[in-house]
Structure 1
C-alpha cells in the first residue's frame, strides 16, 4: 500500500494588471478564460450555481483531452483569494485530492498572483504536478496580457 500525504507546489507571478482586475476575471468572468487562453482551455462552463459563488461547480475542458470538474471551495473577496477543488476528471486518476489556490496581492505597480497546488498522490511513483502548476502560471500571464492590452 502506498503512503501518501498532502503535498504542495507554489509559484508567484508578477503582473502589471491590478489585483482587482485579475481577481474579477478569476472569480466572476471565469467563462472568458477560453477566449484569453485558447491554446490550453477549450471551454469553461458553470454546471451548478453562479460565477463567483462558493459551492458552484465548474467544468473545465483543456486541450490534450483533459477534463476537470471543480467546486469553488472558498472565496475571500477581501484578500482576493479563491480555491478550486477538483471533484471529477482525469487529474483524479493520479491524485486522491487536488486543489488550486490563487491569491492576488496588489503591489505599488501591478500585483503578484500566488498560485498553489495542493495534492495527494494515488501512488508514490506518480510525479509531482509541475506541468499543471506551469499551466496555471501561463494562464496568469495570459490573463495579465488580456487585461493590460491597449484595446481593452
Structure 2
C-alpha cells in the first residue's frame, strides 16, 4: 500500500525557471550542490524526456547512496515531473519510491510516494528534509543565474 509524504518549501524564483531546471538541468545538482550530489550518469534516454534513466551517487544523512531514477512523467501544463527509483540503496527499504516536483507561485511541492518493504522500515522523512535542502539550493542558484 502506497503512502505519501508531502513537503512544500517556499521558493522566490519563478515556477517556470524552477520547473525547467528539474526538467532540463537536474544533473547540474552535482555542480551546484556538490556536498550532497557526487555524480550522475545518463544510462538511457534523453534529458527532459520521459524514460530518461540516470544513475545518481549522493550523500544523505552522512551516508553515501546510489539510485537509478527514471523520468516517469512530465506534465508541462501543470509544471510537474515525476521520477521513480528503479534500483539502488532505496529499493532495499522501499518496494516503491517515486517523487513528483510541482513548483507553483511561491512554493515547490514535493510529493513522495512510497511502499515500505516491511513495517520495520521508517517513513522516508529524511527525504522530505533533503527535498527542502535541494529546493533552497536550486532556488538560490536560479535567483543568482
1:76 maps onto 2:75 in alignment: yes
Tell me if 1:9 matches 2:9: no
1:51 matched to 2:50? The reply is: no
Matching residue within 119, 125, 134 for 1:124: 119
Question: 1:56: Cα distance to partner?
Answer: 0.9
Runs of 5+ consecutive residues of structure 1 not aligned to the other structure: none
State TM-score, norm by structure 2. Answer: 0.94
Deviation string 1:108-133 (CA, Å, 9 cap, x unpaired) is xxx31100110000000110000012
Task: Please give the alpha-carbon distance, in whole angstroms, between the structure 2 residues aligned to 1:142 and 1:113.
Answer: 12
**Superposition pairs for residues 124-143 of structure 1, below 5 Å?**
124-143=119-138
Tell me how many residue pairs correspond in the alignment: 142
Kindly indicate whether the alpha-carbon contact (under 8 Å) linking 1:30 and 1:44 is maintained by their aligned counterparts in 2: no
Cα RMSD (Å): 0.9
Post-superposition shift, 1:45?
2.1
Q: SS of 1:27's equivalent?
A: helix
Alignment correspondent of 1:41: 37
Rg comparison, structure with higher value: 1
Q: Which runs of 5+ in 2 are unaligned?
A: none
The whole-number CA distance in structure 2 between the counterparts of 1:46 and 1:136 is: 21
In terms of mean alpha carbon deviation, does 89-98 or 61-70 score higher? 61-70
